[in-house]
Amino acid sequence: MNHGDEVLLAVESVSKAYSGTTVFDNVSFDLESASVTWLRGHNGSGKSTLLNCILGADEVDTGTISWKGHPRRETDAAFRGAVSAAVDSNSYFSDVSVIEHLRLIAVCNGVRGSDEAALHWCDRSGLAAVSDALPGALSSGQRQRMALAMAMIRPFELLVLDEPERHLDTEGCAWLADTLAEFVAAGRAVLAATHDSALADSIAGTTIELGQ
C-alpha cells in the first residue's frame, strides 16, 4: 500500500451459497482509497451477489467484511454516507423526471446547490436534452446514464457499480471511463463488476476473478 493510502474496505475469506450451491468461495481483497477494483467472471459467478453482500443487502455465510477497520454494518450512518451505488438501472420513480431524480438525491445527501448540481450532472451524463422526461420515455442507455448520475451526484468515498457499461453505447462507455478515472484521481475508490475488458483496461487497478 502506498504511503497515504487508506484501506476502506476489507473483504476476508467470504463465501456464499444458496440451497447448497456455492455462489462464491473464500474471496479476499482490500480496497484502498484512490483505487479501482474490478470484479470479473462469467454469468452466475457471484459478482452481483458479492456486491450486495458488501452493500449490506445480503449477508455472507462465512468470512468478514470490514469498513475502515470495523465490521461493515448497513445500518451504520457513516457507512451509508460514505458509499454510493448503482446496481440496478430500473430503480426509479416512474412519475418523476430525470432532473427531479437528481435533485432529490442531491437534497437528501446534503449537496450544496442541489439545483445547480442536478443541472451539472444532467449535462455531464448526456441527459440535458431529456432532463424533463420521465424514465419510461428514456431508452435503456439513457436510463443507465440516469442511474449512474444518481450515484455520482452525491458525496461518497466508495462507488459500487454492477455492470455500469450495461446498455451504454461507445460514447457512453468513454464517458463512464473518463468519469471513473477522475474520481480515482480525486482520491475516491471504485468497486465495479464488469464484463467489459475495454472498461477494465481503461483504468489501472486490481482485478478479482470469480468463478475460477
Whether 2 is in a domain gets the answer: no
pLDDT score of 3: 41
Q: Where are the alpha helices (DSSP H) in the chain?
A: 47-55, 77-82, 98-108, 114-124, 140-152, 170-185, 197-202
pLDDT score of 61: 97
Whether 107 is in a domain gets the answer: yes
Q: What is the pLDDT of residues 92-130, one digit of tens each?
A: 999 999 999 999 999 999 999 999 999 999 999 999 999
Q: What domain range includes position 155?
A: 7-209
pLDDT score of 211: 83
pLDDT score of 16: 97
Locate 120 and state its grid cell.
451539472
Give CA separation, 143 vs 55, 68, 158, 190, in Å: 22, 33, 22, 21
Q: What is the pLDDT of residues 161-190, one digit of tens each?
A: 999 999 999 999 999 999 999 999 999 999
Q: Assess contact for 85 and 74: CB atoms under 8 A.
A: no
Whether 1 is in a domain gets the answer: no
Averaged pLDDT, 3-25 = 90
- Residue 82: give its domain's CATH number: 3.40.50.300
Whether 157 is in a domain gets the answer: yes
Residue 148: which residues within 8 A CB-CB, separation 6 or more? 86, 125, 161, 164, 176
Whether 30 is in a domain gets the answer: yes
Task: Count structural domains, the chain.
Answer: 1
Give CA separation, 94 vs 34, 45, 123, 137, 168, in Å: 35, 32, 21, 10, 21
Q: What is the pLDDT of residues 44-98, one digit of tens each?
A: 899 999 999 999 999 999 999 999 999 998 888 999 999 999 998 788 999 999 9
Length of the chain: 212
Entry pTM: 0.94
Give CA separation, 147 vs 29, 90, 91, 112, 168, in Å: 27, 8, 8, 20, 12
Q: Which of 29-38, 87-96, 148-157 has the least mean pLDDT?
A: 87-96
Locate 132 and state its grid cell.
424533463
Averaged pLDDT, 137-153 = 97
